[in-house]
Amino acid sequence: MPGDVKDWEEMERELLQDCRVFTVSRMTSRSPHTGKAHPFYRIDSSDWVNVVALTPRDELVMVRQYRHGEGRVTLEIPGGLVDPGESAAAAAARELLEETGYRAGSVESFVARGAERVAEIANGQTEETVVELVPLELLRETLRAGRITSALVVAALYWFELESAR
């Protein structure tokens, strides 16, 4: 079939760096169209969760934290790596509690409803988060103003908006 896209054959892979939250590898793959080998670089990460948490007053529970990749403080929803053997839902609830001190009445599809502050923030040695409550009716304005810049967070909030409209 003309224009058919085929899989490339991976010939070898070399781990270049283990960065704790992700690994970087160099792969050599063969083109199915030319038969030539080409180098590519790949970043792999463990599973990750983000959680959209709402207080009983329809405020989004968000965190401000310094992101080394961006070189500045960002506004995000809580999230992090899923620990080995942990379910994604349990990881979402754990990250919400650790990063914000909030616990939700329910967590479904990573929307945590009825989130209330029940503990102090429990950051690790390389994290520092501050909670910021954003009224749900100001979410679009907050996004348009460029206060939320992480593509992962924007995608999660868009998914939340689509699901809320159902």
Question: pLDDT of the chain along its 166 residues, tens only?
Answer: 567 899 999 999 999 999 988 999 999 999 999 999 999 999 999 899 999 999 999 999 999 999 998 899 999 999 999 999 999 999 999 999 999 999 999 888 889 999 999 999 998 888 899 999 999 999 999 999 999 999 999 999 999 999 888 8
Query: End-to-end alpha-carbon separation of the chain, Å?
Result: 39
Q: pTM of the predicted model, to two decimals?
A: 0.84
According to DSSP, the residues that pair with 10 across neighbouring strands are 29
According to DSSP, the residues that pair with 9 across neighbouring strands are 30
DSSP H or E run through 157: helix 151-164
Residue pair 52/110 in contact by the 8 Å Cβ criterion: yes
